[in-house]
Chains A and B, each alone.
Chain A
Amino acid sequence: ILNVEQSPQSLHVQEGDSTNFTCSFPSSNFYALHWYRWETAKSPEALFVMTLNGDEKKKGRISATLNTKEGYSYLYIKGSQPEDSATYLCAFAGDGNYQLIWGAGTKLIIKP
């Protein structure tokens, strides 16, 4: 059974601080790793789709790295702002399969 683990489950961060969290996924038959942000009462929004080992993607203050050999990805948020409060989901795609296997998410709460 393929499993995607995210840690921590939840995180409280002071506004202005930087933070990061982890997504662990199977290291075999890798095709892609997705990151999404899901704000309360909104749709999950795609942040990154990563396919290459060593890849690093950036969108504003948010960046992500990928290690397919050891099966993990980190999401970093620099200088957290209240609007960063959301649940961050990662999902693994194997073997060119469009079906994603999802982690349970990391809920990020930014304290003013």
Chain B
Amino acid sequence: DVKVTQSSRYLVKRTGEKVFLECVQDMDHENMFWYRQDPGLGLRLIYFSYDVKMKEKGDIPEGYSVSREKKERFSLILESASTNQTSMYLCASTPGGYGYTFGSGTRLTVV
């Protein structure tokens, strides 16, 4: 069964910490995405990648960076976590032109 795996389901971090969220897919998809989901809002795109070592800013990239050194892995980095980054983070991948496959999400709380 194909899947997208996110390393942590729940995470609690302190303000100012550097946070790494990992995402791995086993479907050989070129395209990978990081979203955050907050109550009452649609999924908002943080960063995406069309290929290894490629990254593009989404709608809300401030305070985040990403890394894609291998095709299957797309990491989201919070350089210095802040309380307004408390959210549900979802990783997704797609071969393009088809439905997305999502990870199960990481609920991050920054205290």
Contacts and interface: CB of A to CB of B under 8 A. Distances in A.
Nearest to A51: B97
A43 B43 contact: no
Nearest to A34: B99
Counting chain A residues whose Cβ lies within 8 A of the other chain, the interface size class is: 20 to 34
Interface string A27-63: 0000010101000011111100100000000000000
Contacts of B40: 9, 104
Interface residues of B, number: 26
B110 to A, nearest CB: 21
A101 B105 CA distance: 19
Interface of A: 4, 9, 32, 34, 36, 41-46, 49, 89, 91, 96, 98-105
Given A44-B92, A99-B58, A104-B41, 7 more contacts: A42-B104, A43-B90, A44-B100, A49-B99, A89-B43, A98-B50, A98-B94
